[in-house]
Amino acid sequence: MTSLEDYNFEVSEDDEYYQLIGDSDYESDYSLTKDSKVSQNSHNSQDLQLRYKSLSRDELFADVMERVKFVGSITQLSLDSMIILLRLYGWNEEKLLEDYTENPRDILEKGGLIVPENGKRGIQLEKDYMCPICCDTYDKVSVFMMECGHVACINCYRSYLTSTLKKPRAPTCMSCNISITSSDIDQIFGNSDFSKKHICLSFETFINKHSKNYKWCPYTGCGNIIYSNNESTLNEMLKRHMIPEVICNNKHAFCFYCSTEVHSPCDCKIAQYWIEKVRDESTNLNWILNNTKPCPFCGTSIEKNGGCNHMTCQSCQSEFCWICDGRWSIHTDNYVCKFQNEKKDNRGVKSISKRFTDGYKMFIVHENSSDLDLKLAGTIESKIFTLQKELGISWIEGQFLSESIKILLHGRSVLKWSYTIGVFCDPSHNLTHILEQNQTMLSNAVESLSLKLQIKDPNVIIKSKAEFRDSSSLVNGRIAALERCCQELLVKGICKLESI
């Protein structure tokens, strides 16, 4: 039998939440070099780390151009032509190379790259010119012409190219299907920024096509991308129920496999199921939590339709108190319960609906608490500044507050997601009871640290520095114990979707 002692923990002296490792020798197929700065996820296991690289949009552009050059070296086509064809194929290099090898002329024609011989392309100055697109007449105007003989004023082309920005395919002549190249766009706008923008806006298609290796950061307005070709490690981590956590350049942490927030200690399979289930049923769940509860003796859902706390179950005829779930025979007042702090669950095993609603309730409680802690985090910098100004301490000396809020948020997240583990566990198993004990201990440690972080008096804060460190270390230890417990529940099959 597993006992609580199996989850005793060592209090770590290292309170670092995230570790970023640079100067790795990790290389991608196309663009990562030995000098590339690569981050490693060191939060999961000493022997399993997902290697990855965080990219800005500009870095992704350079990365994609390397891939374009690589494919172009095989087809012997120009960079402009390769960009057009890859956009035509939704950035699917393998399919493009396969089709191009079989029938290159057909592919070039589909891409609008077969042009009439001796035709002219480029900008020239025209006098007394009427544009066939806008029908405006100009005494003197710059026009753009293509080999097909179609000509339009520069203003029409600029408007047209702006309107095609978000289209996945490369733009074509306004009167036929001959493609406009990136060089043409640069010439029309007089700089290289617009053609780059044209390509960058097609990257959503590129990332969707290469979703195993590239992931957008899911945080609103971030725009960073994570690249990893460490598929064997990723698969092994998923097999071991580990979370492939990655951190973008803006310090946003998320799960590489799910593209959702970090959901440790819950594995990806259960997290995805939970998110979908809650999304579909959140309205009903909120109504159930606010208006119904299961009978504490038989589990039948009961709706409270009046102010009186005296309830009678129509299924088992048991009489109980709405507030504390205790037998009504020990109560004397229909509207006030003096046993509400002694509330107990009289059933040996919770019903499936009770487990789910209880898990959802605790998930929401800690999610809301996490939101409040995030607001608290926004005041930390000003607190450190106040400590510097009023007490003369250095910036480094005040960093114990920043570390404490990081650990607090991490603890909230682990606690929140641990309740999804509890929902899918065998409720009669000893390890499930140990999970609940670990959740209680982490919850107490987190609340204690949260209260300390709400102290406003600079003198009290600095005098409590040792207590901040002790509380932070305690939370770290409780997190480790809870994560080990959840890991064992998943590995041993005690926690599984089939249990609900």
DSSP result, 277-291: HHHHHHHHHHHHHHH
- Which helix (H) or strand (E) is 204 found in, with range? helix 203-209
Nearest Cα to Cα of residue 294 among 353, 343, 334? 353
How many of the other CB atoms lie within 10 Å of CB of 63?
20
Q: Do the beta carbons of residue 243 and residue 263 sit within 8 Å?
A: yes
With contact defined as beta carbons under 8 Å apart, do 451 and 443 qualify?
no
> For residue 124, what is the enclosing H or E element?
strand 122-130
Residues β-bridged to residue 373: none
Residue indicated by tokens 């310090």: 251
Nearest to 357 by CA among 291, 263, 310, 258: 291
The DSSP bridge pattern shows strands 245-247 and 225-227 to be unpaired
- Catalytic residue chosen out of the listed positions 134, 176, 308, 316: 308
Active site residue 222: no
Bridge partner residues of 495 (DSSP) = 425
**What does the block give as tokens for 54?**
């965080």
Burial of 115 (0-12, 13-18, 19+ CB in 10 A): middle
Identify residue 391 by its one-letter amino acid code: L
Q: Pick left, alpha or beta for residue 453 (phi over 0 → left; psi -120 to 50 → alpha; otherwise beta).
A: alpha
> Which residues have CB under 8 Å from 335's CB, separation 6+?
307, 308, 309
**Per-position b or e across 20-39, b if 16+ CB within 10 A of its CB:** eeeebebebebbbeeebebb
Report d(CA 411, CA 265) in Å as an integer. 11
Residues designated catalytic: 308
